[in-house]
């Protein structure tokens, strides 16, 4: 893809992720789950790789926080999940591994990183597994949505993009 096309597609994914997170959320324990953020992470990781996926996650978290519809925990959660999704997809070439990377990155790693992050930036302290249930619920639901969309749309919409390159199961 040309660089302009990549930037336009990333901007569209960021807009979709930001807008839909306002409407599609559900309570998950002590926090709100925003599965669209994780779905966009999986899609961006598959289409563009880890770097642009992390950038998209950062911009989505930034815009959501600036609009008052997100929390500071969107930064480590989204960015770490996008990184893991991109790396696992790049290593395997399978979209299911991108979804697994999102779940491991956000649900496990980012939930543990969120503890010192919350202490430093939000001046709160929690137990080591405090964020894990809500992060897992959000990342699992979003990864399933992202995986479903990429697999279903690969034959129709993305037939000329990187999605045609991944291995069939």
Which pLDDT does position 60 carry in this prediction?
95
Mean predicted lDDT score pLDDT of the chain = 87
Using 50, 70 and 90 to split pLDDT, how confident is the model at 69?
confident
Using 50, 70 and 90 to split pLDDT, how confident is the model at 40?
very high
Task: Provide, rounded to the nearest whole percent, the portion of the chain with pLDDT above 70.
Answer: 88
Q: How far apart are the first and last CA of the chain?
A: 25
pTM to 2 decimal places: 0.86
- Which residues lie below 8 Å from residue 129, measured CB to CB, with a gap of 6+? 111
Q: Where are the domains of the chain?
A: 3-165
Using 50, 70 and 90 to split pLDDT, how confident is the model at 22?
confident
Which pLDDT does position 41 carry in this prediction?
96
Q: Can you tell me the mean pLDDT for 26-38? A: 81
Residue 11: how many CA atoms within 13 Å on its side-chain side? 6
- Between 1.10.1760.20, 2.40.110.20, 2.70.98.70, 1.10.240.10, what CATH number should domain 3-165 receive? 1.10.1760.20
Task: Provide, rounded to the nearest whole percent, the portion of the chain with pLDDT above 90.
Answer: 56
DSSP class of residue 28 equals E
Strand partners, 32: 27
The yes-or-no verdict on residue 153 having pLDDT over 90 is no
Q: At what angle do helices 35-48 and 74-92 cross, to 10 degrees?
A: 40
Per-residue burial over 14-39, b = 16 or more CB atoms within 10 Å of its CB, e = otherwise: beebbebbeebbeebeebebbbbbbb
């Amino acid at each position: 893809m040309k660089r302009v096309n990549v930037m336009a597609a990333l901007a569209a994914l960021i807009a979709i992720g930001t807008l839909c997170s306002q409407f599609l959320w559900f309570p998950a324990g002590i926090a709100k789950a925003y599965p669209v953020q994780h779905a966009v992470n999986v899609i961006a990781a598959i289409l563009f790789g880890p770097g642009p996926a992390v950038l998209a996650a950062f911009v989505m978290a930034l815009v959501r926080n600036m609009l008052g519809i997100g929390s500071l925990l969107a930064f480590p959660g989204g960015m770490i999940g996008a990184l893991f999704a991109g790396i696992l997809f790049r290593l395997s070439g399978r979209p299911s591994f991108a979804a697994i990377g999102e779940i491991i990155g956000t649900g496990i790693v980012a939930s543990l990183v969120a503890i010192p992050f919350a202490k430093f930036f939000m001046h709160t302290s929690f137990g080591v597994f405090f964020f894990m249930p809500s992060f897992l619920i959000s990342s699992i639901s979003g990864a399933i949505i992202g995986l479903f969309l990429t697999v279903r749309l690969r034959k129709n919409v993305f037939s000329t993009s990187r999605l045609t390159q991944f291995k069939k199961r």
